[in-house]
Amino acid sequence: MVSEASNQFGAWHSDEVDLTHQDHVPVWAEGSWADPSGPVLIWYHHEPGAVCEGSALTAPKIGAAISYDGGKAMFDLGIVLESGDPIDCSAENGFFAGGHGDFSVVLDRDRKYFYFLFTNYGGPVEQQGVAIARLAYEDRWDPVGKVQKFYEDKWEEPGLGGRVTPIFQAKTDWRRSDANSFWGPSIHFNRYLNAYVVLMNHACCEPRWPQEGIYVSFAPDISNPKGWVDPKKILDSSQLPEMPGYYPQVLGLGPLDTDIMAGRVARLYIHGISEWDLVFTREDSLNEPDPSKDRQAEQTENP
């Protein structure tokens, strides 16, 4: 579906997207970027069927598409990120027998690379968790075979089949029923912090991925995968009793803000629902007033 509204608070109008190719369905569009020349680049999570005989387990892949009409029709460009590890049909997490998926994409500030933060669900446990890959900006129209994964301090592993060194490694193997790992990273550049921010789900430590909480991490330089700080919890699962406790993301409040660009105050969404302002603070601004309070007062006076 593609949805439109005058602002992020609705009312929303939704239409089905025309998928001009059916080779990679079902798909979930999880990243996009409006090129200055007009087209919209779209990246999707694809879950192939019949991966394990007699089982609903799948092994996701990440693909690219392009739209020339604002997302109403998508032209498939092909798979750009795929695991090279064997599928394990004995996996007990309830959903995945391996694969790459549940990701987000951001263009760096120099417009040199698109960076993919994605979840690796298979292979050796030391390669499982939230990993990173990149695509050169000039390759955006022809991305298949051009994405490179980060592995052992180098950007030389192929997007199709290569190995990864996770940014945030799984603590317990995804093949087990009690998997313990961050997953589903949602990244944006925060101009107030002058840094990249990632929000993540945390599955722990029982069957079928119960969510322990929502976490945040920061990095000043996205080209340095070792520069991310240790994740900190911002919401506990007990604070999300009425909704699924996963799929966090922000939407900025500025006129040009999106889900990959925000300022000091942004709206926090969990599974598509927003009940919170997310306020970022630097060490040199700890004594500054909370700008979200002024915004809340303005909304009360002008609902």
Give 158-177 pLDDT, tens digit per residue.
Answer: 999 999 999 999 999 999 99
pLDDT at 15: 87
The yes-or-no verdict on residue 300 having pLDDT over 60 is: no
pLDDT at 302: 35
Q: What is the mean pLDDT of residues 207-225?
A: 95
Q: Residue 234 is encoded by which pair of tokens?
A: 């911002």
The yes-or-no verdict on residue 291 having pLDDT over 80 is: no
For 127-159, the pLDDT digits (tens) are 999 999 999 999 999 999 999 999 999 999 999
Extents of the domains making up the chain: 2-301
Looking up tokens 């190995």 gives 163
Q: What is the mean pLDDT of residues 169-198?
A: 98
- Whether omega before 26 lies within 30 degrees of 0, making that bond cis, reads yes
Domain 2-301 CATH class label: mainly beta
pLDDT at 149: 98
* Strand segments (E) across 59-210: 61-67, 73-81, 100-107, 113-120, 129-136, 148-151, 154-158, 168-169, 181-190, 195-203
Four-residue CA torsion sign, 176, 149, 269, 56:
negative
The bridge status of strand 148-151 relative to strand 129-136 is antiparallel
pLDDT at 33: 97
How far is Cα of residue 52 from the mean position of the Cα atoms in its chain? 26
